[in-house]
Amino acid sequence: MKFTPETYKLPDISMQPFIDDEEIDDILKNAKPNREQVLAVIDKSLNKNRLSLHDTALLLNTEDPELVELIKDGARKLKEKVYGKRIVLFAPLYVGNYCSNNCRYCGFKASNKNALRKTLTKEELIENVKALEEHGQKRLILVFGEHRVYSADFIADTVKTVYGVKKDHGEIRRVNINAAPFDIEGFKIVKESGIGTYQVFQETYHHPTYTTCHTSGRKSDYDYRLTALDRAMEAGIDDVGIGALFGLYDYKFEVMGLIRHVNHLEACYQIGPHTISFPRIQDASEYDLDDKYAVTDEQFTKLVAILRLAVPYTGLILTARESRQVRDEVLAFGCSQIDAGTKLEIGAYAENPGVDQNLNKEQFKINDDRTLNEVIDELLDGDYLPSFCTACYRKGRTGQHFMEFSVPGFIKKFCTPNALLTLAEYIVDYASPATAEKGWKVIERNLKQMDEVYHDKVKERIERIQAGERDLYF
């Protein structure tokens, strides 16, 4: 079946598979970009329009280095125009690595006899959350293998425990999830625990590759995975994250799959995903895939710029899988969230085993092991505004994340002030003296650029934070 805009108007397409490999191949094959077309597509995005699959294919097939540079420039401009300077920070917390699937790229796969399996006990969980709070983290993503022990009730309990941990001024204000998909009932249970975003990555949208990479277990069912976020939406979770694992198949196909997925969610639920993730494959224990589709740095930076232009209002998540150099380049294209102070070994935040990774205890290798303070320090040097803001979710402004993009003045009214307030809290409670000095200067500079009315409101709240109040937001 071919999917057309008309098909999408039918009400019964929710919960139905929607990826047609042949259609994506056809669009890619027929997209032969010339300079005018590329410039027109960039312009369309800069005017805050979503790109079609055909537009996206034109950008993906652009190989002329000068035009690729224009695409990257377009992404930089869009970022400046729409998102301003703030970068939201979070940390992943691996809760358990038991897994009954066999994803060939993952160190947690069931067949990996070298994997050292562990699930944090409640006490260990609390100790790890305290350790994260002591560094200043406010937003976590909890990560789980896919196993019957990680039931919806278990995940919901874990979320509630995390929210309950308070160390000094520390607290976790937003808990996101990356775990196996549930049925609708399961998603309802997890929603009730107060989660932020529920992430499920399709890994590869290409059917034959999916089958080759997922050899057994629940995850080997492509369609069950593909429709996971439809079930989440049906369960009332309107804040979802999609992703593809780059390196399993042709990167162009995967970008097209992601855009098709956005189209599907928008058509069925009138809301696209909150975030898109684009992890690039890294070494892992018992890794057994060839590197035929390995994505080079040049391809990777290009594809991030294209994603930015294709879905101008969706959050882009960049992780510590990437080196600091690559992260620096693509941050400028409008990635909205990055992790910092990342440790993948289960329990490592509390045990502090050092920076060397033991891949038998971890899912994959990371390439950026800077501490949270180091990342914040360098963001400040780069004129970014590090933010721990959780205001929209807590004020009930969920499911409308595109407001920051489409509602005039939204960033000025909410995002920048909240970034400044959370940065002020970080400086007072956790920053090194050198970072604190830089941080106050950045706050001063940003305050000066604000309209008088916001300036006064934010300054008054910063003074209250300096006097000991916490968790002030707009």
Binding mask 216-235 for ligand SF4 (x = CB under 6 A): ---x----------------
Q: By CB under 6 A, which span of 83-91, 102-110, 387-395, 465-473 interacts with ligand SF4? A: 102-110
Cα(27)–Cα(138) distance, rounded to whole angstroms? 42
Binding mask 192-211 for ligand SAM (x = CB under 6 A): --------xx-x--------
Shortest separation between residue 161's beta carbon and ligand SAM, angstroms: 19
| Residue sitting closest to ligand SAM (CB) | 364
Cα(289)–Cα(283) distance, rounded to whole angstroms? 10
* The two three-digit tokens of residue 307, written as one number: 């994603």
Q: Which is closer to ligand SAM, CB of 56 or CB of 178?
A: 178
- Is position 321 an interface residue for ligand SF4 (rule: CB under 6 A)? no
- Is position 281 an interface residue for ligand SF4 (rule: CB under 6 A)? no
Cα(246)–Cα(426) distance, rounded to whole angstroms? 34
Residue 233: Cβ-neighbour burial (10 angstroms; 0-12, 13-18, 19+): buried
Binding residue for ligand SAM (CB under 6 A) from 51, 57, 106, 262?
106
Rounded to the nearest 5°, which phi and psi values hold at 337? -135, 140
Burial of 31-68, coded b for 16+ CB within 10 Å and e otherwise, reads: bebeeebbeebbebbbeeebbbbebbbbbbebeeeebb
Question: Which of the choices ligand SF4, ligand SAM, none does residue 421 contact, using the CB cut-off of 5 to 8 A by kind?
Answer: none
Question: Which of the choices ligand SF4, ligand SAM, none does residue 206 contact, using the CB cut-off of 5 to 8 A by kind?
Answer: none
Cα(264)–Cα(9) distance, rounded to whole angstroms? 10
Question: Which of the choices ligand SF4, ligand SAM, none does residue 109 contact, using the CB cut-off of 5 to 8 A by kind?
Answer: ligand SF4
CB 314 within 8 A of CB 57: no
- Is position 344 an interface residue for ligand SF4 (rule: CB under 6 A)? no
- Is position 205 an interface residue for ligand SF4 (rule: CB under 6 A)? no
- Is position 243 an interface residue for ligand SF4 (rule: CB under 6 A)? no
Shortest separation between residue 103's beta carbon and ligand SAM, angstroms: 6
Residue 376: Cβ-neighbour burial (10 angstroms; 0-12, 13-18, 19+): buried
Shortest separation between residue 279's beta carbon and ligand SAM, angstroms: 4
Q: Which of 53, 51, 67 is nearest to 25 (CA)?
A: 53
Residues 6+ apart with CB under 8 A from 222: 17, 207, 210, 211, 214
Q: Which residues bind ligand SAM (CB under 6 A)?
A: 105-106, 143-146, 178-180, 200-201, 203, 245, 279, 281-282, 284, 321, 363-364
